[in-house]
Chains A and B, each alone.
Chain A
Amino acid sequence: MSDDEISERISGYIRERFLSGDQQQELEETTPLLEWGVLNSMNTALLLMFIRDELNVAVPPMKINAGNFQDVKSITALVNELARQQQAATPAGTESA
């Protein structure tokens, strides 16, 4: 998945679940999600589940910090980096379930 695709999927999920649809299209890649309380300790868990189930990327506890979740841009970078690592760790010819 490209950066743009990942970014769009994550933005879409945040708009739908945490911003009542974001009618006025205010969400940007650099909107400070933690600082403005769009993401909090409870719904970050929901976003993690979305990333695991829909983007097939597991986020290890070490990576769950304020820096990696501050905005859509940094979440996208994290997911992209983890996706590469996790793909490299999967033996060739197998597919993760």
Chain B
Amino acid sequence: MNLHQCVIDVAAKDPHRLAVADPTGALTYGVLDERANALARHLRELGVGKGDRVVIWADKSPDVVMAMQAVLRLGAAYVPTDGASPAPRVADVVGDCGARALLSTPGLLPRISGRLPADVPALDLAEDLGTASAPINESADPDDLAYILYTSGSTGTPKGVSISHRNAWAFVDWVVTELAPTPSDRFANHAPLTFDLSVLDLYAAFAAGASVHLIPSELAYAPTQLVDFVHESQISIWYSVPSALSLMMRDGGLLERTPPHGLRAVLFAGEPFAIERVRQLAGWTSARLLNLYGPTETNVCTFHEVVPADLDRDRPLPIGGAVSGDQVWAQRPDGTAAGPGEEGELLVDGPTVMLGYWGQPPHHGPYATGDIVQVLPEGGFEYVDRRDHMVKVRGHRVELGEVEAVLAAHPDVAEAVVVVVGSGMDARLAAFVLPGKGRKPGVLALRRHTAERLPRYMLIEDLHFVADLPRTQNGKTDRAALAAAARHPDTADLL
């Protein structure tokens, strides 16, 4: 099934039903359908067709969701980039994926003019194109590209995870079976549209003819406002990183109010959820609590539903067993499958495994996640650790090497080391910068330098200038010592 078919089907049957809303506006299925057709036609006139890529650069909004639908209707693939992403990085993405067009907003378009190839038109995605337009619905093959999500790459350049209609649909299909959403459901969309969590919010809602309620990024970690949003939008299905839930509980007074009447499922993924918080959540709502797991390359490949016995645990929740038609297993270093009680790297094979990274040879066979898990005696898995330097900040993957490479490229910087401080909602990136000889880099100058090259979630929060970097006995940078220093900001500047 094509990912864009859902909206077309609901619009034909029930055009007045609410499809997507945010604090500034809303689109019914009928209007979403008409406008997607009009934009698709416009894009087609500019030469966009089957198999092409279109980059979307904008803050989240109902219009952006409409633009994604428009691109899919041409049999083309969309490539979302955050409105807060710097123009040079967006231009790099346009170049990397060989985009045929860029869709953006009037506030952003002037910033990228002159940075795009001459044959790549840049358009206002919300431009009024009228509504009188014949339907456009190019059929895509299951293995055709539907979208590309760019994630942090260890070598200093981002990687484009290429997802097909089959990949996306295998996951959405599982969600629809598991949650049985109905037209009266109201999904929250907390994650940015560049993050694969949003695939559930949008497409499970559309598959059921339900509505999805977008949370603008500025609101995403404002605790009291977020709690107000949950109530005002009468959310019935919530999905986010655990950090957002923790924040609402700790600083937003979530638990002090009765849950919204219709709340029936709370899903979380992207990082471990402190068991104490899960306990509090379970004490507050009778909604189902589901822990989902999967890297962008496979979307959700395992899940675990919280049961009463979990609440007595002192370890994090299990990540559970395979879903979305996938097979998962833990592989020991010698290549054999790990048995109960043993640890190994989690491998995933099946319909959700990506086509590959854009510009690299297609991916075949099982995907090795880089996550070390333990096989539980009762079946399923528990997350243990990472194999490499990839870290998570509120669910977002960050390769520390990519951030360090950008900092070190500044002319005033001799060397830079980036570490993660804290965990869960308090996790943040801290940088230790060794200035070049005789140089005095400014805090804002360095922030500007990184912001012009990295997406928002990869930006450092704490910046420390040091006269020397601590070394281990074998001469490597002592990351553990830096991480310890970063936890005590008052002393970090004295290193």
Contact = CB atoms under 8 A, between A and B. Distances in A.
A19 B84 contact: no
Interface string B282-305: 000000000000000000000000
Contacts of A41: 217-218, 220-222
A40 interface: yes
B190 to A, nearest CB: 11
Contacts of A31: 444
A24 B463 CA distance: 14
B216 interface: yes
Interface in B221-235: 221-223, 225, 228-229
Contacts of B219: 61, 64
Interface residues of B, number: 39
Contacts of A64: 216, 218-219, 222, 225
B464 A20 contact: yes
Say what secondary structure dominates the interface of chain A: loop
A34 B222 CA distance: 15
B439 interface: no
A48 interface: yes
A37 B456 contact: yes
Given A24-B442, A24-B443, A40-B459, A66 B218 contact: yes
Contacts, number: 82
Interface in A32-48: 34-38, 40-45, 48
Q: Max chain A CB contacts within 10 Å: which of B218, B222, B228, B394?
A: B218
Interface string B4-34: 0000000000000000000110000000000
B461 interface: yes
A12 to B, nearest CB: 15
B99 interface: no
A35 to B, nearest CB: 6
B251 to A, nearest CB: 7
B216 A20 contact: no
Nearest to B221: A41
Contacts of B428: 42
A87 to B, nearest CB: 21
B229 A61 contact: yes
A94 interface: no
Nearest to A23: B443
27 contacts: A18-B461, A20-B443, A20-B463, A20-B464, A24-B443, A26-B444, A26-B445, A35-B86, A35-B451, A36-B447, A37-B459, A40-B461, A41-B217, A42-B221, A42-B394, A42-B425, A42-B461, A44-B221, A61-B23, A61-B219, A61-B225, A61-B229, A62-B23, A64-B218, A65-B218, A66-B59, A66-B218
Interface of B: 23-24, 59, 83-84, 86, 216-223, 225, 228-229, 247, 251, 394, 425, 428, 440, 442-445, 447-448, 450-451, 456, 459-464, 493
